[in-house]
Amino acid sequence: MYIEREIRKMFEKIAKSYALVAVVGARQAGKTTFLKEHAKSLRSSYLLFDDPDIRSLFEEDIKKFEKQYLENADIFIFDEVQYCKNAGRNLKYLADSGKKIWITSSSEMILGKEVLSYLVGRVSILRLYPFSFKEFLDAKGQKEFNQQILKRSMWEHILYGGYPKVVIAEDTELKKIILRDIYETMILKDIAQTFSIEDIKSLEEFTKHLAINIGGVLFYETISKDLKISFQTVKKYLDAMEKSYLITRIQPFYENKTKEIIKQPKLYFIDTGLRNGIAKTFEDEPDGKLFENYIASEMIKMGHTLKYWRTKSKAEVDFVIERDSEIIPVEVKLKAAEKVGKSLHSFIETYKPKRAFVVSYTGENKTLKVKDCTIFFTNLLTLRKVLGK
C-alpha cells in the first residue's frame, strides 16, 4: 500500500516548471517509491546508477548514454546519479536537450558546487524525510483519536521512528533489525564511503556518543578530548552525518546574526527510531531529551528552520522559528505545564512575540496570555495544524 507524502503538492508544482527535480533524503526514506508512484500516469524510465553499465556510459559518453537509455519516455528517474563523474555537466546537457529528469539522492553531494553550479535555474530540490507523524498515522490507517490512542501512536513513532519499512513491520524485533540494517548501510555507504572515512570503529563510537547526548550543546573540543580524535575529525564526521541525513545541527538564536554562526549548535537525530537503535535504548516511556528530539524532527519535516535560545544567565527556550517577520518560541515538555516558565517569560519580555507554543506529550490543550503574547499549550497534532506549511 502506497502512503502519500506531504511533499506531494509542492513536488507537483515544481515538476511542471523545472527540467530537473531532485528529491534528497536519507536512504530508505521512500524517495524512489515516491517518484515511481508519481510517474505511473506518464511514460517513464527508471535508471539505477549502481549499475556499472549505466554509470560508465553516463560518465564516458553522454550522447551515447542519451541514445541508449533516454528514448521513448516522458520522464526519466535517475537513482543516485550524483556519485558519477561529471554529473553536473552531463545533467546540464540533458536538461538543455529538453529531457525531464527526476533525481534521487541519499546525500547532499547533489548540492555540492561540483554538481549544483552547473544546474542553476534548471533544478529544484525537495527533501523527503522518514514518515512524519501524519504520514505514520496514514500508514496505520488511524483516522479517529482519543487521548489514549494519540499517546500510544505517538510513542510508537518516537520509539521506532518513521522509516517506511520499519513502520509497516508489525513485529518489534523485526523493527529493530531493520533499523540496525539501515544504520549499517548508512554508516558504510552514505557516510564512510561517500566521505572517504576509513576508521569505521571510530565513526561508530562517535555516532553512539552523539546518540546518547541528544539535545546537548556541541563542544567540539570536549568531544575531541573524550573520544581521543582530532578536532578536524570531529568536524568531518559531523559534516558527513549531516549531509547524509542522520543528524541535524541547530544554531542559537541571536538578533546579532554573526553570533548565530560562531556560537555552538545543539544536535538532534533526524529519526528518533534510528537514534534509539544506535543508542540501544528502547524504553517504555520517553524522557525529556528524546521527546525534545522528536518534536525537533517533526518541525523540520514541516519545513521549519529551527534555532534555540540560551542566555548567559541560563534562561533557555528549546526552539525558535523565524517565519516571515514573526519570531515564534516553542517549548517542549513531557507533561503540560500549569504555568509559563521563567525562561519563556524572559524570551517574551525580550523579543515580544505575538504567540508562543508549549508542546507536550501528555496534558490538556489551553491558552494563556503574557503581555500581548498568546501562549498555546498543545499537543503535536494541534501544533502541526497551526505551524504546518
Residue 243 within a domain: yes
Domain assignment present for residue 3? The answer is no
* Number of domains present in the structure of the chain: 3
Q: Indicate which CATH number applies to the domain containing 75.
A: 3.40.50.300
The values of phi and psi at residue 313, to 5°, are -85, 10
217 and 144 belong to one structural domain: yes
Domain range enclosing 357: 306-387
- Could you tell me if residue 2 is inside a domain? no
pLDDT score recorded for residue 389 = 57
3-state secondary structure 5-72: CCCHHHHHHHHCCCCEEEEECCCCCCHHHHHHHHCCCCCEEEEECCCHHHHHHHHHCHHHHHHHHCCC
Q: What is the pLDDT of residue 176?
A: 97
Pair (154, 295) in one structural domain: yes
The DSSP call for residue 270 is S
SS (H, E, C) 273-336: HHHHHHHCCCCCCCCHHHHHHHHHHHHHHCCCCEEEEECCCCCEEEEEEEECCEEEEEEEEEEC
For residues 290 and 357, state if they share a domain.
Answer: no
pLDDT at 1: 83
Q: Is 73 helix (H, G, I), strand (E, B) or coil?
A: coil
Please indicate, yes or no, if residue 222 is contained in any of the structural domains: yes
Shared-domain flag, residues 55 and 193 = no
- What is the distance between the alpha carbons of residues 149 and 254, in angstroms, rounded to a whole number? 39
CA distance 206 to 213: 11
C-beta neighbour count of 209 within 10 angstroms:
14
Give the residue from 127, 155, 174 where a domain finishes: 127
- Rounded mean pLDDT for each run of 10 residues along the chain, 389 residues in total: 94 95 94 95 94 95 96 93 88 95 85 81 94 96 85 94 97 96 91 91 96 93 94 95 95 81 89 96 88 97 95 91 93 88 93 95 88 93 84
In a domain, 294, yes or no: yes
Burial 155-194 (b: 16+ CB within 10 A, else e): bbbbbbbbbbbbbebeeeeebbebbeebbeebbeebbbeb
In a domain, 235, yes or no: yes
Last residue of a domain, one of 78, 107, 127: 127
For residue 241, the domain's CATH number is 1.10.10
322 has which bridge partners? 327
Task: Report whether 235 contacts 219 (CB < 8 A).
Answer: no
Contact by Cβ (8 Å): 330, 356: yes
Give the tens place of pLDDT for each residue, 64-77: 999 999 988 999 99
Does 140 share its domain with 268?
yes
Is position 216 within any domain? yes
Amino acid at 296: A
pLDDT the model gives residue 262? 65
Task: Count each helix (H run) and each strand (E run) in the chain, helices first.
Answer: 18, 13
**pLDDT score at 190:** 85
R_g of the chain, CA atoms, integer Å = 22
Distances (CA, A) of 90 to 94, 266, 276, 385: 6, 38, 40, 42
The verdict on 179 and 277 lying in the same domain is yes
> ∠172-238-251 over CA atoms, to 5°?
100
Give the residue among 12, 35, 20, 43 at the shortest CA–CA distance from 96: 20
pLDDT at 59: 96
259/372 same-domain check: no
Are 123 and 139 contained in the same domain? no
| 26 and 116 share one domain | yes
What is the pTM (predicted TM-score) of this model? 0.93
Same domain, 318 and 291: no
Listed residues 268, 301, 334: the one ending a domain: 301
The predicted pLDDT at position 111 comes to 72
Domain membership flag for residue 1: no
Do 271 and 319 fall into the same domain? Answer: no
Q: For residues 297 and 312, state if they share a domain.
A: no
